[in-house]
C-alpha cells in the first residue's frame, strides 16, 4: 500500500485520541448546525476544520487575511464520522500536519465532543500555498516551514 494514501489507511485505523495532538482549539456549535435528525449536519464538520486551522494560521502570523501575498488554496478534503455531535455540544479540535511538501500542507483535524477522549469525527484538508493574485504554487519559505514543523504528527 502506497504511503501517499493516508486517507484510506486512516479508514482502517481506530479513531484518534487527544493524546495524538499538541495543538487544540475550542469551537462552539450553532443551532442551525443540527439537521432534521437532531445532529450536526455532515457539512458543518468542514466549517469547523476550516475555522480551527485558519484560526491557528492567523494567530501565528502564517495567514494575513487582508494583506498576505500567499494564501492556502484547498485542493482536497475528507472526513470520517465516528460518532454524533450536536448543538449545544462544545467541540475541541485537535490539529496536526501529516505531510509537509514543497508547496503543500496536509492538515489532520479531529473533533472531540465535550470532554471525550476519542474523536467523534476526523478529517483532513490539503492546502496548496499559492500566490494570491496568480494562484500559482509558491514554495513554503523557511520561516513558515519552521512553524508548520511544530505541529507535525
In the set 28, 146, 150, 152, which binds a copy of itself (CB under 8 A)? 28
**Coil/strand/helix, residue 135:** coil
Minimum CB separation of residue 63 from a copy of itself in Å reads 10
In the set 21, 62, 71, 140, which binds a copy of itself (CB under 8 A)? 71
Picking from 151, 52, 54, 57, the residue whose alpha carbon sits closest to that of residue 111 is 52
30 binds a copy of itself (CB under 8 A): yes
Minimum CB separation of residue 143 from a copy of itself in Å reads 21
20 binds a copy of itself (CB under 8 A): no
In the set 15, 24, 60, 77, which binds a copy of itself (CB under 8 A)? 77
What lies within 8 Å, CB to CB, of 39 at 6+ separation is: 84, 85, 86
Burial class, 16, CB count within 10 angstroms (exposed 0-12 / middle 13-18 / buried 19+): buried
Cα-to-chain-centroid distance, residue 81: 14
Contact region for a copy of itself (CB under 8 A) — 13-21, 81-89, 101-109, 137-145? 81-89
What lies within 8 Å, CB to CB, of 62 at 6+ separation is: 56, 144, 147, 148
Distance CA 145, CA 147 (A): 5
Per CB under 8 A, residues contacting a copy of itself are: 1-2, 4-5, 7-8, 11, 26-32, 34-38, 41-44, 46-48, 50-51, 54-55, 58-59, 65-66, 71, 74-81, 86-88, 125, 132
Amino acid at each position: 500500500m502506497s504511503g501517499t494514501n493516508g486517507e484510506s489507511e486512516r479508514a482502517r485505523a481506530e479513531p484518534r485520541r487527544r493524546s495524538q495532538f499538541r495543538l487544540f482549539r475550542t469551537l462552539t456549535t450553532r443551532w442551525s448546525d443540527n439537521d432534521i435528525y437532531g445532529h450536526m449536519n455532515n457539512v458543518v464538520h468542514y466549517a469547523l476544520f476550516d475555522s480551527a486551522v485558519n484560526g491557528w494560521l492567523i494567530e501565528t502570523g502564517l495567514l494575513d487575511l487582508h494583506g498576505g501575498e500567499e494564501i492556502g488554496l484547498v485542493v482536497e478534503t475528507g472526513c470520517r464520522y465516528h460518532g454524533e455531535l450536536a448543538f449545544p455540544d462544545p467541540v475541541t479540535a485537535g490539529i496536526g500536519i501529516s505531510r509537509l511538501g514543497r508547496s503543500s500542507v496536509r492538515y489532520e483535524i479531529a473533533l472531540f465532543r465535550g470532554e471525550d477522549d476519542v474523536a467523534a469525527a476526523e478529517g483532513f484538508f490539503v492546502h496548496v500555498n499559492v500566490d494570491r493574485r496568480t494562484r500559482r504554487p509558491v514554495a513554503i519559505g523557511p520561516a513558515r516551514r519552521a512553524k508548520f514543523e511544530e505541529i507535525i504528527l
